[in-house]
Structure 1
Amino acid sequence: MNKSAYIKLARQVSLDEVKEKLDHLIEDTSRTGEQLGWDYASAAFPYSVEEKTTSDGNHWLLLRGKESRLYKYLLIGIGSDTEGDAAAPPSIQVVVPDGATHGDHAKANEICRFLAKSFAAELHLFNGRIMYYNPRKP
């Protein structure tokens, strides 16, 4: 069964903005690896990012694992967590599909926390818990 986490945003974001944040994560981890003297970027972000489009025009990101034994894939899309609810805030959905490994699930949690912190958003994790990275008091 697919598992989803939602990053509830205060404003609408595009898939390109999410991709830029992921590129920023890859760049930061590669700089850390240079300082440490090893390939930290491939351990911290073991995915290649591919943009896909469905037949009905929906765009989403496929994170395909570089090491097939440890990491397979994750999916990232833009939308809202409740279908048909016009008042639902915009959100980023991160999906760990069937057939994903434990490593995929752990990396999905890390990526969710990174994106929620980057966008100052509210994170609804796979286990139903909520983490707040957004300012909650005016």
Structure 2
Amino acid sequence: MQADPQQSIPDLADRLTVTTSRLTRRIEKLRETGVLRGQRAVIDWQALGYAVEVSLRVTLDKTQSRAFDDFIAAARDIPEVLEIQTFLGQVDVRLSVIARDMPHYQEIYRARILTLPHIADIEALMHVARIKSDENLPV
């Protein structure tokens, strides 16, 4: 299912040498237990004209009790922020930001990123190449 989520249940059952009804029950159990969270469309943002990806490492002013909550809530509102991760350590948050080109990135950075609340420090890492990007688990 990971490799080809569009394949039909009967075809997958044949590949796994189980009956369609048995496979359907297994899939339903995986959904009920939260192992399968659904299907989704994966959009190639580069095909839509986005050519720049930047990873921003952000350190927050942790003297503010709502620093994480306020920052994350505001960052979620930026459409070009594809991913938000939090960490323990010197870096508190990482944002993955896309832009059409460098002038577009500068516009996003100056107008949206730098206005996010409670930033103590920020470091930008320009993505050069994606060597591996795989969401399939080794099951």
Scaled by the length of structure 1, the TM-score of the pair is 0.36
Scaled by the length of structure 2, the TM-score of the pair is 0.36
Report which of the two has the higher share of strand: 1
